[in-house]
Amino acid sequence: MPEVRIGRQIPTEFVTLPYYKTKGAEAIKLYNKTGRTAQEWQELLIYDILAQNEEKLWTHTKFGYSVPRRNGKNEVVAIRELWGLKNGEHIMHTAHRTSTTHAAWDRLLKLVTKAKLQIKSSYRAFGKEHIELENGGKIEFRTRTAKGGLGEGFDLLVIDEAQEYTDDQESALKYVVSDSNNPQTIYCGTPPTPVSSGTVFLKLRQNALGGKTVNTGWAEWSVDKKTDVRDKEAWYQTNPSLGTILTERKILDEVGNDDDDFNIQRLGLWLRYNQKSAISSNEWAELQVQAMPKLVGGLFLGVKYSKDGTNVAMSVASRTDDGRIFVECIDCRPTRAGNSWMIPFMMNPNVYDIVVDGANGQQLLEENMREMKLKSPLLPTVKEIIVANAAFEQGIFSKEICHAGQPSLAQTVSNSEKRAIGTNGGFGYKSLADNIEIALMDSTILAYWLCSETKIHEKQRISY
């Protein structure tokens, strides 16, 4: 018989912190005693969720994950809760709908019974379910309200249906784990739809992937843009349980007239209609000059080859006589058009230095420059790229950057969001729109950084 294909087991996007050890193996062993068997992707998530540091505290005090529907994402929470009960934790499980909390209680109660844990009490009051073990471990199930959880203390807070979790509800619930010696909050859900009321899950994702969180883990299975609903390869990339509890036939039956809904619910697409740019159009507009400033100290060029190798952009930066740095994008052209259009700019006698980023074009451009007897460019390290992005952000908010209002650059900058680089809080940028080339912004950042890092003593009027 041919081998059955299964969906991608590793998240398409994830942020996990380095950890010392994990209780994941214990949790999986306990779960498998119930007669069920955890899938590989569920095991990997549990290992990250139950990761510990050297002080035996949770590495991730917050962990969010998003998986398309009917893949078994709630089973991950059940595994975590089962382990917590066995180890005496006090847990609160909240959801948007009463039917969801009841289903979660029913699922966990069956696991507790099959794992032969000693139950002290259990009741099924709809919307207020409860399980308590003889060892003191207990879990309360609640439908969320703006006041739910106040005055109660827990070790673990589970936010089920996290796409509906609102700021008001978070204000009421986030303190319920504050008194715990080792607190953890888990967010479990799917990408929000146009009618979803929650904002917390979205912001958690943005901040985690943007490198702006501390002690937070994130995992998701998703496409990064709207995709053909009949693209089976996309099905397998975004549904880890396809081939086990999901089948191609079941997914094909879901295909209908609403492509957006299918992309969100089945392919895990995070639509960008409710995401804000990391740099607003007003913030960028405030830096525009009405007349071209006097440039002093030389020109600095930044060249960026796009990640997919499609385009290459070149920008320029120079100090002004009032102490700011003027930036502008010279051009962005298809990579297949070659590098010859950049050489005349690089031969300008006022060019002081050049930085080039993008593995798919660096070497060839460096060879072209060598043939023209030009100074070798700086090829930045990842660490330097992180520094450059941070410097650009600081330059914007300190108003040390100025520009002439170039429409293409303004459009790119004001439609960008942060993306994480490395594991120490570094970030870069990516576009919020599929038709906007982020290389324009990246090349500008490189030029600005090179200019800001270089000390030029000789002042002269320059032009380009």
∠ CA 14-261-106, nearest 5°, is 70
Instruction: Give yes or no: residues 359 and 298 share one domain.
Output: yes
Instruction: Among 265, 292, 309, give the residue marking a domain's end.
Output: 265
The pLDDT score that the predictor gives to residue 361 is: 84
Q: Please report, for the domain that includes residue 447, its CATH number.
A: 3.30.420.240
Question: pLDDT at position 147, please?
Answer: 59
Looking at the structure, do residues 244 and 135 belong to the same domain, yes or no?
A: yes
> For residue 30, what are the domain limits?
13-265
pTM (whole model) above 0.75: no
- Whether the pLDDT of residue 182 is over 90: the answer is yes
Same domain for 377 and 346, yes or no, is yes
Do 228 and 349 sit in the same domain of this protein?
A: no
**Do 208 and 298 have their domain in common?**
no
Whether residue 317 lies inside any domain: the answer is yes
- Give me the pLDDT at residue 2, please: 63
288 in the same domain as 257: no
Same domain, 237 and 294: no
Tally of structural domains, the chain? 2
The answer to whether residue 103 sits within a structural domain is yes
Domain boundary among 206, 231, 265: 265
pLDDT value at position 257?
87
The reply to whether 334 and 241 lie within a common domain is no
Task: Classify residue 459: in a domain, yes or no.
Answer: no
pLDDT in the model for residue 106: 94
Is position 149 within any domain?
A: yes
Longest CA–CA span in the chain (Å) reads 83
Taking residues 18-30, report their average pLDDT: 96
Residue 395 has pLDDT above 60, yes or no: yes
Give me 120's structure tokens.
């002290």
The two structure tokens encoding residue 256: 């209908």
* Tokens 């909390």, located at residue: 101
Give pLDDT, residue 322: 92
CA distance 39 to 344: 57
Instruction: For residues 245 and 306, state if they share a domain.
Output: no
Task: State yes or no: pLDDT of 441 exceeds 70.
Answer: yes
Cβ neighbours of residue 117 closer than 8 Å, sequence gap 6 or more = 82, 85, 86, 133
Q: Are 114 and 35 in contact (CB under 8 A)?
A: yes
CB contact burial 310-328 (16+ within 10 A = b; e otherwise):
ebbbbbbbbbbeeebbbbb
What is the predicted pLDDT for the residue at 274?
Answer: 45
Q: Which amino acid is at 412?
A: T
Q: What percent of the chain has pLDDT over 70?
A: 94
Q: Which of 216, 241, 265 lies at the terminal end of a domain, its last residue?
A: 265
Sign of CA dihedral 114, 119, 125, 127: negative
Check whether residue 442 and residue 356 sit in a common domain. yes
Rounded to the nearest 5°, which phi and psi values hold at 459?
Answer: -105, 130
Asked, for residue 274, whether it belongs to a domain, the answer is no
351 lies in some domain: yes
The answer to whether the CB of 42 falls within 8 A of the CB of 78 is no
Whether the pLDDT of residue 362 is over 90: the answer is no
Whether residues 56 and 113 share a domain: the answer is yes
User: Does some domain include residue 180?
Assistant: yes
Q: Is residue 1 part of a domain?
A: no
pLDDT tens for 160-181 read 999 999 888 898 898 999 999 9
d(CA 342, CA 409): 18
Q: Could you give the CA distance from residue 50 to residue 44 in angstroms, rounded to a whole number?
A: 10
**Percent of the chain with pLDDT strictly greater than 90:** 71
Can you give the CATH number for the domain in which 163 is found? Answer: 3.40.50.300
Greater pLDDT, 184 or 128: 184
Asked if 173 and 36 sit in the same domain, the reply is: yes
Dig out the tokens for 106 from the structure: 């029913």
